[in-house]
Structure 1
Amino acid sequence: MGADNSKPSSDVKQHVFAPDHPVRFSNGLVDSIQKNTFTDSARSKAQELQYQERLTAELEKLRQQESENFSKFSETLSSESSEPSEPSLVEKITDATSSQSTLAEKQRQKDMSRDSVTKEIENLKAKLEKRKKLEQVDQDLSKAKEAVVACLRTNDRRPLDCWKEVEIFKKEVGRLEKEFVERTIR
């Protein structure tokens, strides 16, 4: 125990194969190997580019196919007639026992189609765009704001010295809030 080293020795044994016959390659093969400027990295880059091109082409083909399928299905859904089908017995019983508001909601959902929902969305977008109109900032408020900013810049170590400008700004904001509330209530 312990007489032999547990690690193999650092002497690397090398085995050299010596063939009985000399190995000869044809001159054409030797010339083509010597003339070939394609390195392994260049070859792998070219192969990677080919893979990417094929993948891109396949993805584009799939996108085209999916867009065709989507347009086909959306056309079939849009063109489906809105003929009411015969309600089942369960639906008839449920309708008989339901409240008036539930029945009205159910009828409203039946009446909705893709086109009517699209029109409703467009109407809501138009209303929203009308509301987005911003009013110009009041001149007195902007002057008060600039006065506060200027004071704070000049008194950067002592911001409490700007209390007068801040009070004027607060009064202007309060005035605008009061005007807004009065406009909204009327």
Structure 2
Amino acid sequence: MGSANSTIQDSPVSFSQELVDTLADNAAAPTPSPERQNTIDSHIRARIQAELQHLRAEEQSVREQIEAALEKENLDRERAMAGDPESVKTSTTLLEDLHHVREKVDRFHARRDLAEFPGLREDSDTLVACYKNNPTTPLDCWQQVDKFKASVAQIEQQHIKSLQ
């Protein structure tokens, strides 16, 4: 297929001295130029940041899957232990129940406030002061105790009447 008449000439290839010098300088200098090095460094930093973000997102995903699996496993275990699957509550339901209990406690404490019974508060303070003034002879405070008991009885009667 080739022509027998074609011949390869042995002519020397010549390069310009500038090209030879550039190649020789590049071969002699093992490190790239500062501009080239900055470009390479910024490219490497960008790739590292991208990979780091990818790994963090993947870690978060794995963490969420593990939490979901553990919650499901715990719920299944609690249901198995309880025997009645409907009696077991999730953490969300338990938090709601806790919130309701806290509200009830706050309402209870608000009702217990003695601000609406200034006479009882005064008798209570007098009784406490008497006990503090007579630490070795608390029986000397019998009058204050009787007065406090009478105040409590009066408030109890008012409360009973208000319920009827």
Q: Same fold (TM over 0.5)?
A: no
Q: Which has the larger radius of gyration?
A: 2
**Greater RCO, 1 or 2 (C-alpha within 8 Å, sep 6+):** 1
TM-score range, shorter chain: 0.3 to 0.5
